[in-house]
Amino acid sequence: MQQLLESIGRLRILVIGDLMLDHYVWGDATRISPEAPVPVVNVERDTFTAGGAANVALNLRALGVAVDLVGTLGADSQGECLARVLAGHGLAVDAPLTSADRPTIVKTRVMCRSQQLCRLDREAAPPVYALPDAWLESALAERVARADAVILSDYAKGVVTTALIQRVQQLAGPERLVSLDPKPRPGLAFSGLGLITPNRSEALLLAQLQGAAAVDAFPAEEVCRRLHAEHATQLLVVTLGADGMLISRGGRVVQRVPTAARAVFDVSGAGDTVTAVLTAALAAGADAETAVQLANIAAGVVVAKLGTATASPEEILAHAQCI
């Protein structure tokens, strides 16, 4: 595992997707408001970190990966805050992709005694966040050409489209891994990707089995069969929360991997960690089973932390010794 992590640290990966600022309001509540039956939170502090595709990039940087990050930001105070967070980790977003024509996407979580009380979202409609056609024509090919792999981090906010996926696949060719963390929705189509990493509910939606109740056993074989028939993905890894992950190739379940989490405080961003580590490990030459094992351990590290988080090589190695 040490050798694999060292190989990962020598990679360059292109991340394209929906950039978000994660804002945490930390405080305590000791009384109910006289105005409505809701708790009154006494705010102690605010913290900010990267969310969405920006969190995928931070997870890669935590592993030592060189990252090119592509997304759209607003020319506002929230965008400046996210840019500072990224700069603190040696990351930047292309200046032409910052515009006053859109607000930066912000997810504000109110945390009371380490529990999430509510979440407040600030965002515009998805078309506002689409990548400019001129940039895609002039700069995308260069970014793909110098990358060892490409991650498409999709939160259905407007950056990842069918046309973008197809263009990236065309530029990447067969020699570069292209992975997608999908947010299923009408109009999004893809086929022949190297890796997709849906969670349980996303996999059910992609397989058109969304009627399956949350309490039902996950129909793994049927999901994998349908997803391969529809999307022809080389490798499918479904994250199942407390039930771990499953690996599928050719429409068949290859392996089920139990969770490596020993304690769970916050699952925010855990899917980003899985996508980042899986893609990096595969790009570094690991087989699917080893890559999933590494991603599973990294996810076990981040869910034991409060807030959107990352896992360093040292933390991953330490956690691996404890499971």
The residues annotated as belonging to the active site are 272
Distance CA 206, CA 204 (A): 6
The β-bridge partners of 45 are 26
Distance CA 18, CA 73 (A): 9
Distance CA 284, CA 263 (A): 29
Could you tell me the sign of the dihedral formed by the alpha carbons of 35, 41, 46, 48, in that order?
negative
The answer to whether 72 and 131 have CB atoms below 8 angstroms apart is: yes
**Alpha-helical runs (H) found in the chain:** 2-8, 53-62, 77-87, 133-138, 140-145, 162-172, 200-206, 220-231, 270-283, 288-302, 313-320
Nearest to residue 261, comparing CAs of 295, 221, 284, 291?
A: 295
Place of tokens 């039956």: 37
